[in-house]
Structure 1
Amino acid sequence: MPGVRSDLEALSRIPSVSLSSFDQQHVEDSARTVAELLQAEGLSVEIVREGGRPAVIGHLPAPEGAPTVLLYAHHDVQPPGDVGWDTEPFEPTQVGERLYGRGVADDKAGVMAHVAALRAHGGRPPVGVTVFVEGEEEVGSESLPRILERHGDKLRCDAIVLADSHNWKIGVPALTTTLRGMVRVVVEVTALDHGVHSGLYGGAVPDGLTALCRLLATLHDEAGDVAVPGLMTSEAADLDYTEEDLRADSGLADGVSPIGTGSFLTRMWTKPSMTVIGIDAPSVDKAANLLTPVGRAKLSMRIHPEESPRTAYLALKAHLESNAPWGCAVSVDLEDEGSGFAADAQGPVYDAARAAFRDAWEGVEPVDIGVGGSIPFVAAFAEKFPQAAILVTGVEDPDTRAHAANESLHLGEFERVCAAEALLLDRLGRLGEDEA
């Protein structure tokens, strides 16, 4: 583990932000470093590009009769942001039991968990191993479908370990069995063909920004549930998760009530959610006394794991258009969509994973969880390799704060994740022996 941690810190010092406004040479450097780490473990390695950021594919052939396991992670990271860090984002720093820095958890720890599992077997695991480390997960994996199409034969496998999720809590491992899908749109409300004096015409003429606010207010009912008709919902897993847990994990401010109805896990894992993530509006310090002609907002809608993103988009579009305030023109443009994921987490591969978790966590029983966020590439893998069992695992915990300031990795949990993956490869190798 000391060597694994040292390599994790070196990899995390590379500011491999895949957003195009950042220096993409760092993403190239990160891909090359990942390739070198895999080559050092005896894998044959190539860096591939299909119109996007570099991805790394490494391969060790399977012993005769053994299955092949695909290990996924991504080496790109989110921007660090301008405020809120207590340490330097790209200088990994230990405070207590946690290592702080951008990417130390999401998802360079996932990369290093794969490397650690290979090292635990001396570079000769009892199964075939293909490692696929993507370089643009944080910007939507746009070229992933082309990579899967053109390099799919290199990625063919019997089981997939996608190390980009989290555990239930520190000390309790988890398999992620459901992920919500997502739809992202830009809605535009037009009230005027040009701006006019708010004193002269206010009271008789609507403005685009106020009309937009009224339209956005129709997206939730009084309880805070999404009010778009026709969207799927179901009950989530029955795990103990209290309002106290929610407040501690989310940072919900004192006096602010949770929204929605049903269990908290149902609200976050299997019911739709709607968030206004951006608005085009005059800034407060530069605002004129003007009726703004047009209001624009970006909405992020999370949908049931089995909901069709296209169906959900059409339902949202119909709702917004039918609720246009005061006859204003409303346009709804689809910016991005991604399918959810729901696993039938039964069978020998899942049994092997749960047994590996129990061993690594010294007898603690793993739980099956959902995740409210969306990881569209999981659905892409499920479609490409329908015969493969998909294990969504990860290194994060409720206090990791991925994407936010002070992202961190719990070092004790990281060691257990590495041990669990090494044990999983061993158990999958024995499955191959049993079948032979």
Structure 2
Amino acid sequence: MSLNIEQVKEFSNKTWEESIIPTLSKYIEIPNQSPQYDPEWATNGLTEKAVELLNNWVLEQNVKGLKSEIKKIEGISPIIFITVESTKTENSKTVFLYGHMDKQPPLTSEWAEGLHPYKAVIKDGKLYGRGGADDGYSIFASVMAIKALQEQNISHDRYVIVIEGSEESGSIHLTQYIDKYQEEIGTPSLIVCLDSGCGNYEQLWMTSSLRGVLSGDLTVKVLDEACHSGSASGIVPSSFRILRQVIDRLENQITGEVDKRLHVEIPSYRIDQAKKCAEVLGDFYKSYSWHGNTQPITTDPAELLLNKTWRPTVCTTGVDGIPHISNAGNVMRTQTTVQLSIRLPPSLTVDVASKALKEILESNPPYGAEVIFNIVDVAAGWDAPAVKPWLEKALGEASQNFFNKPHVYTGEGGSIPFMGMLGEKFPEAQFVITGLLGPQSNAHGPNEFLHIDFGKKLLSCVVYLLDAHAKYA
């Protein structure tokens, strides 16, 4: 039986308005932070409240053959584990759909007037609030895509949906669940992740790669006791000056170029995709909230996209050992520590990166000072496997049917740690990585929003892709 495109559109519009938005709004208003950011996550009941809200909604949809459970392992965050039986009489395969329900910290004081991270507000076609687009909507879109097929009596594959609770903490708890329930998951031939982004709200976007990330604390220590700056300066080298020298080994302070040991050769087809994406987006860098006359690193959109998706970059995300200026005395401090977040090319392994970074930052310290780089967290990057003809055709048709524009491939500068793990476990699987995080949607930042109309069309595209997989994969 053929999928009725107009019925899919009607279903998506109706279910978003009548079911998804009301329940997603309730979810937004639960301040359940990811374990890394909330030391009381296991005892304050917020994670449980969010999980129960979502799981109850799933059960209320009366999807044929669906079983949904809250799985718990002692000491780690729970997951929602959903299975839907196949309705095909032969050649049934498994599709794995993934999302998460934990949230980043609120950044309460920075939100615009009338907006709040834990207050769902609809304004100008956008649903504001923490965790809606990143990534609370994913469970709704996954379940409703299956329901849409059933409402048209379309035969479908077996589905496994996993909604985890530690993605924003690097998916630190998820591997244990995947290992424990490996047999129930099976071997997926298609993996759908709805936790990524889009370059605009006008067509279907496919994430082709994800950068890895390595974060660590870089400390320079020169004294055991602080000294009066009048007596020590000019004799004792400043820990901050040494820190600047050490970081400059890693990242050229003039050009921003990172040490060649952290680079990889970018595949030619990824360069071609970046150029095509640049043609679609144009001067996309203008959408950033630039201060004053600040300029981008370059005005070449294709180069900016390659910088963001395939080249290593360094951000200083925190500092310790420096007092606030309101109580900073004329003192030569004993040490300075900064937290570095280093984005890694998709195909660079974290082992190679870790070894290189330790060597770059710690070897031959200036003046013999103590320089230590303590690696705190790592997440591998990911480069998507080649897209099979049936999926390439389905992506193009889905984008044309629901957006009237072709689909676009782009890499993402961030990481989804789980994707690399899935790629290793299921090397034969096809991947559809997409999402709602588009221009100015501000995931992790103030005024995070979900573009409602885009969400409706994206749900429709997922329906189409699931149908195509059942028929042609």
TM bucket, shorter chain: over 0.9
1:116-166 Cα distance to aligned partner (Å, 9 max, x none): 213323477612111100111011111222111111122222211011011
| Residues in 1 aligned to 2:168 and 2:40: alpha-carbon distance in whole angstroms | 13
1:240 Cα deviation from its structure 2 partner:
1.8
1:168 Cα deviation from its structure 2 partner:
2.1
In structure 1, the gaps of 5 or more residues are none
Letter in 1 for 2:183: D
Which residue is 1:339 aligned to? Answer: 380
**Which of 266, 271, 274 pairs up with 2:311?**
271
1:216 Cα deviation from its structure 2 partner:
2.3
Letter in 1 for 2:297: I
Q: Which has the larger displacement, 53-62 or 8-17?
A: 8-17
1:247 Cα deviation from its structure 2 partner:
2.9
1:167-192 Cα distance to aligned partner (Å, 9 max, x none): 22110211101111111111111111
1:288-307 Cα distance to aligned partner (Å, 9 max, x none): 22111111111111111100
Higher helix share: 2
Which residue is 1:30 aligned to? Answer: 50
| Residues in 2 aligned to 1:410 and 1:33: alpha-carbon distance in whole angstroms | 22
**Which of 198, 201, 212 pairs up with 2:229?**
198
1:230 Cα deviation from its structure 2 partner:
5.0
Q: Does 1:75 align with 2:101?
A: yes
**Which of 169, 192, 197 pairs up with 2:200?**
169
Which residue is 2:7 aligned to? Answer: none
Q: Which has the larger displacement, 312-321 or 202-211?
A: 202-211
| Residues in 1 aligned to 2:390 and 2:319: alpha-carbon distance in whole angstroms | 46
| Residues in 2 aligned to 1:81 and 1:20: alpha-carbon distance in whole angstroms | 13
Q: Secondary structure at the match of 1:178?
A: strand
How many residue pairs match? The answer is: 431
Q: Which has the larger displacement, 46-55 or 277-286?
A: 46-55
In structure 2, the gaps of 5 or more residues are 1-15
TM-score (structure 1 length as normaliser): 0.93
Superposition pairs of residues 95-134 of structure 1, within 5 angstroms: 95-122=123-150, 126-134=156-164
Please say if residues 441 and 449 of structure 2, whose CA atoms lie closer than 8 Å, have aligned partners that are also in contact: yes
Q: Secondary structure at the match of 1:395?
A: coil
1:57 Cα deviation from its structure 2 partner:
0.4
Q: Secondary structure at the match of 2:263?
A: coil
Please say if residues 340 and 379 of structure 1, whose CA atoms lie closer than 8 Å, have aligned partners that are also in contact: yes
Superposition pairs of residues 146-157 of structure 1, within 5 angstroms: 146-156=176-186, 157=188
Q: Which has the larger displacement, 259-268 or 204-213?
A: 259-268
Which residue is 2:5 aligned to? Answer: none
Superposition pairs of residues 15-26 of structure 1, within 5 angstroms: 15-18=31-34, 19-21=37-39, 23-24=41-42, 25-26=45-46
1:214 Cα deviation from its structure 2 partner:
3.1
Superposition pairs of residues 262-411 of structure 1, within 5 angstroms: 263-280=303-320, 281-322=322-363, 324-348=365-389, 350-351=391-392, 353-355=394-396, 357-411=398-452
Decide whether aligned partners of structure 1 residues 407 and 183 sit closer, same or farther in structure 2, where only a CA change above 3 A counts.
same
1:115 Cα deviation from its structure 2 partner:
2.6
| Residues in 1 aligned to 2:32 and 2:381: alpha-carbon distance in whole angstroms | 26
| Residues in 2 aligned to 1:365 and 1:264: alpha-carbon distance in whole angstroms | 22
1:80 Cα deviation from its structure 2 partner:
0.8
Decide whether aligned partners of structure 1 residues 103 and 405 sit closer, same or farther in structure 2, where only a CA change above 3 A counts.
same
1:360 Cα deviation from its structure 2 partner:
4.5
Q: Which has the larger displacement, 12-21 or 335-344?
A: 12-21
Q: Does 1:10 align with 2:26?
A: yes
Which residue is 2:284 aligned to? Answer: 245
TM-score (structure 2 length as normaliser): 0.86
Please say if residues 352 and 428 of structure 1, whose CA atoms lie closer than 8 Å, have aligned partners that are also in contact: no
| Residues in 2 aligned to 1:361 and 1:140: alpha-carbon distance in whole angstroms | 33
Please say if residues 215 and 375 of structure 2, whose CA atoms lie closer than 8 Å, have aligned partners that are also in contact: yes
| Residues in 1 aligned to 2:51 and 2:390: alpha-carbon distance in whole angstroms | 30
Instruction: Report sequence identity in percent.
Output: 27
Which residue is 1:136 aligned to? Answer: 166
1:228 Cα deviation from its structure 2 partner:
5.2
1:400 Cα deviation from its structure 2 partner:
0.9
1:349 Cα deviation from its structure 2 partner:
5.2
| Residues in 2 aligned to 1:288 and 1:12: alpha-carbon distance in whole angstroms | 44
| Residues in 1 aligned to 2:403 and 2:218: alpha-carbon distance in whole angstroms | 51
Decide whether aligned partners of structure 1 residues 364 and 381 sit closer, same or farther in structure 2, where only a CA change above 3 A counts.
same
Letter in 2 for 1:60: V
